[in-house]
Chain A
Amino acid sequence: MTAWVEHLRAGGTTPWADFRRAEGDLATPVGAQQLEVLRRLNALGRPSADLVERVLRADLVGRGRGDLALSGTPEHRFGTPAVDPATLPPAELLRVVTGLLAEDVVAAGAPAPPRPRRPRFRRVRYRLHGDPWLAVPIREELVRRGYPTGGGRAMTFLVGRDLGSMLVDAWTRRALVDGVIGWEGWLAKLRRSDRLPPRADLLRQARWWQARVGHHCVRIVTDPALLPDILRVQGPLPQPPTVAANAVDLARRVAPMVGLLAGHDRREHLMRQGLLPLLADQPGEPLAVPARFRPWLLRQARAQREGLLAEGYAVHGDLGHLDPVERTSGGGSPSVEAVLELGLRMLLERSTA
């Protein structure tokens, strides 16, 4: 082990270039990515001895360069050129951080879902779809309380809210459950193909259900707060957490590794029940659709509203609630630097918890 590794093990924060000038360190068996992550952890707090060793042994997950040598060490004739670790882009360091966080998520597990109670005899027969970020937790809670979905002559309710929030919801759910590209790239792709994602497209969902259950059995719900009255259930229904933009992006980067470590069947449960509660506690601005996408968003919202009106679906609430809301404060896109810092802080929190 080299002196710089020992320096970092002991909590040091001196950048490699400064340390090398002072110590004349020559070679290291650990990659520059892992060492820079450790240095940044030391700068943010006091990682446990266990976390230090995990970082030093950590794999680089996903695509990208292999373990990089430190600049100034004896030159290898072959392989990727050595680097000054302080110059590594955040995305390269996130390859270390997300792998470790995924290990933590899988190791911690998630509470098993509570057993649903026996189905109530008197209940509204329903199906609940639409914006899955809203619909899935409500549906699960209803089932838990004894209101299973489906049944003869069930009414299909498609729940939504303003289109900007539904896009945020669709991307957030995909980030946690399915895998998706970055937020603004995803929006740009939708704009290029001039379509809404299926999960935010109530008109498309309404047509799909109409073909299966009939037009009279499809209803649009423009505000999830209306659902307890519609379904005649007592007590409030769960509302999904608002997660900071950087936290959602971190989840997006961790999710494939959780899938790789735990498999498809456990991934959604671990992400939603294990990681999401931790991310929901993280401070930061929520996601919002950037202003440059607003004209496209308004056009899509108008087309959706006009389509729902023209096709005559029954509506609970006001279709105007599906129009994008002009944000007066807050909201933005993830920043990769902030995502890295959040990842490092979460590693520190978990190592001292």
Chain B
Amino acid sequence: MSGRVLLHVGTPKTGTTYLQDVCFRNRPLLAEHGILYPAERFDAHFLAALDLMRLPWGGLEEQAVGAWDALAAQVRAHDGTVIVSHEILARATARQAERALRSLGHGDPRDPAEVHLVISARDLVRQIPAEWQENVKHRTTASYAEFLDELREPSRSGVIASWFWAVQELPDILDRWRHDLPPERIHIVTVPPPGSPRDLLWKRFISAFGLDGIDLDLGTDRTNVGLGIPETYLIRRVNQLANDAVEAPDYRELVRELLAHRTLAHRTGSPRIALPPAIHPWVSSLATSWIDELRTQGYDVIGSLAELEGNPPSSYTDPDEPALPDVVEAAAESIVALVQDVGRRRASEERLHREIAVLRAELDRARMNPVHQLKERLYRLLERSWMGRKALGAYYRARGSSSRPA
């Protein structure tokens, strides 16, 4: 190839799911414009990232064997622009990042690709609460206070902190990923502050990925949705009770999807999780040091680095001490949603039972057929002897099928 590769490596909670969904659903249209989004399934780049980073993920990794090399081969075979995007790539080590860049054609002496690194970034004032909520939706039982304590622990050795900083600390992520890319090929897309026009982030993505002038279908239901304080508290309580008793597939479908995403996320009137005011000075000093570093490196910025500073929250409610009537209300809505779901499943089960009864009746009628009965008797007779089994084998071969009666 001699084209461009736009490699989007994070960070989580910055509109990445929306971007990926738009790219996935518009693959044919993008192809008409010479842009390849190489994915057979929505999570193809996620699997490739698991493979690249050797990251087990609740069994999903077993679907990821060779996924990165397959993705890289598709990228190299395309003569034009290619988009690769997944936010967990932010966690790659420097060596994994170098391997990824090389596999995509960066530095290939025969046919080098022009690799651009894109990273979308949001201020920590919003990222910290969002990441805690995401942890809760992934079965964490840690309270907000425990989560914040772990983030501030200097060694970052805990499960939560090691992951959080690996995928959120912008200067470190770019240090690991930039390798020998010139700064003008590294693009930082900043997430606009609250109150900005709704489509401003998308416009920035369009600019970063060169999607101007393409009439993309933007409809999507794959956006990650936020929960309020009572709703997050409820899910955390569910985790405390369900972690020992609910298997992963049931949790994914019923707790995360049905309860969190499809039910509780619609309760938009609840107070939102925010950064505690006492933590803000620490976060602010981190943000300042990050902005200074990113500015010094001279990366291309789409938006403004100043947006990474974040605004201190105007009000704060402790997510570990929610108003219990609100939690009860959220629980009641959850029960209704679960009852409705059980009702749908019962209806489906009854329909299936009716279908089974019809099929059984048909089977019984077929068995009453004298020709069928004769065939069955003959088959049993032949199965009893070596010669008979040979004859059956010859019959199957002559019929051209290897299938055998059950």
Contacts and interface: CB of A to CB of B under 8 A. Distances in A.
B162 interface: yes
Given A62-B54, A66-B91, A264-B62, 6 more contacts: A59-B95, A65-B157, A80-B156, A257-B54, A259-B59, A263-B62
A192 B64 CA distance: 34
A152 to B, nearest CB: 9
11 contacts: A59-B53, A61-B56, A65-B157, A65-B162, A67-B93, A76-B172, A77-B293, A78-B293, A192-B244, A193-B245, A256-B56
Interface residues of B, number: 38
A316 B61 CA distance: 42
A77 B171 contact: yes
Contacts of A63: 55, 159, 162-163
Interface residues of A, number: 34
B404 to A, nearest CB: 12
B93 A260 contact: no
Most A Cβ at <10 Å: residue of B95, B155, B162: B95
Contact of B54 (A80, A99, A179): A99
Contacts of A39: none
A330 interface: no
B95 A260 contact: no
B101 to A, nearest CB: 16
Main secondary structure of the interface of B (DSSP, over half): helix
A60 B91 CA distance: 12
Contacts, number: 93
A60 B55 CA distance: 9
Contacts of B62: 259-260, 263-264, 267
Interface in B42-57: 50-51, 53-56
Interface of A: 31, 57, 59-67, 76-81, 83, 89, 99, 121, 179, 189, 192-193, 256-257, 259-264, 267
A79 B61 contact: no
A297 to B, nearest CB: 17
B56 A59 contact: no
A80 B165 contact: yes
Nearest to A259: B62
B166 interface: yes
A80 B171 contact: no
B246 to A, nearest CB: 10
Given A59-B95, A79-B172, A193-B244, A261 B65 contact: yes
Contacts of B93: 31, 59-60, 66-67
A192 B240 CA distance: 12
Contacts of B382: none
